[in-house]
Amino acid sequence: MRAPLILFAGVALTVTVLSGCTAERPAVSASASTTPTYELPPRPVRPGESPIRAAPVTDGDTRFQVIGLQKGLSGFFGSHAEWQAKGQYVVVRILVENPGRTNSRFDAKRQRLITADGTGHTIDKFAQAIKRQPDTLPLGAQVRIEMDLWYDIPAEAKVAAIRLFGDPPLGVGGTTDGVQVPLS
C-alpha cells in the first residue's frame, strides 16, 4: 500500500514541477522596455552649412551635440550691420541641453574652436552680437536650445575640432575640463 502512495506522490510532484515550467507567461512588449522618444521631423541643413554627425557629449551638467559647420566665410549681413572677417568666419551649430533637475549656465565665451595647429580660438563677440546669438544664458532643468557659435580665425587655418565647456555640477566649485568634438 505504501508503494502506490509514494508512486502517486512522485507523479503529482513531477506534474506540478513540469506544469510550472511550461505555464504561459505574459509576453513582454518591446515597447514596454524602451523609452518613448519624440518624433521630430528632419529639417534641411541651412545654405552653406555642412551637417556634422557627432554623438552627444557631456561636460559637467551640460550635454552638447554639434550638428552643423560653415567655414571660409569672408563676411556676413546681420539684421542691422554688415561685418567682414579679419581672416575667415567659422560657424559651429550646436545643441546645448541641461538634462538635470536644477538650473545651469551656458557661457559661449568659454567654447573654443581648435585649428589643425592646436590653437584654441574664442568666439568673435561682435559676430555673436550682430547675429543675435547669446554670450551667456541660464538653462533651466530639462531645457534644450540650438544656437550658433561664430569664430573669426586666420584665413589659412584649418578647422580641426571644437572644445565645449559645460557648467560644473551643482555644489562643485571651479570649472570643467571641457570635451572635444572633431569637426572633420
Q: In this predicted model, what pLDDT tens digit does every residue of 116-161 receive, in sequence order?
A: 999 999 999 999 999 999 999 999 999 999 999 999 999 999 999 9
How far is it, in rounded angstroms, from Cα 140 to Cα 142?
6
Of the candidates 62, 67, 64, 65, the one whose C-alpha atom is nearest the C-alpha of residue 140 is: 62
Of 4-13, 32-41, 101-110, give the range with the top mean pLDDT: 101-110
State the sign of the Cα–Cα–Cα–Cα dihedral 46, 152, 54, 66. Answer: negative
Of the candidates 124, 50, 129, the one whose C-alpha atom is nearest the C-alpha of residue 85 is: 124
| Domains annotated on the chain, with CATH | 50-170 (2.60.40.1240)
> How confident is residue 83, by pLDDT bands cut at 50, 70 and 90?
confident
Residue 169 is predicted with a pLDDT of 76
- Chain mean position to CA 171: 23
**At residue 3, does pLDDT exceed 70?**
no
* More confident site: 79 or 14: 79
How far is it, in rounded angstroms, from Cα 69 to Cα 91?
6
- Transcribe the chain into DSSP letters: -HHHHHHHHHHHHHHHHHHHHH---PPPPHHHHS-----PPP-PPPTT-EE--PPPEEETTEEEEEEEEEEEEEEEE-SS-EEEEEEEEEEEEEEEE--SSS-EEEEGGG-EEEETTS-EE---HHHHHHTT--SEEEE-TT-EEEEEEEEEE-TT--EEEEEE--PPPTT--S----EEEE--
Residue entry with cell 502512495? 5
Query: Among 35-49, 73-87, 91-105, which is the least confidently predicted range?
Result: 73-87
Residue pLDDT, tens place only, 84-127? 999 999 999 999 999 988 899 999 999 999 999 999 999 999 99
Start-to-end C-alpha separation, the chain: 86
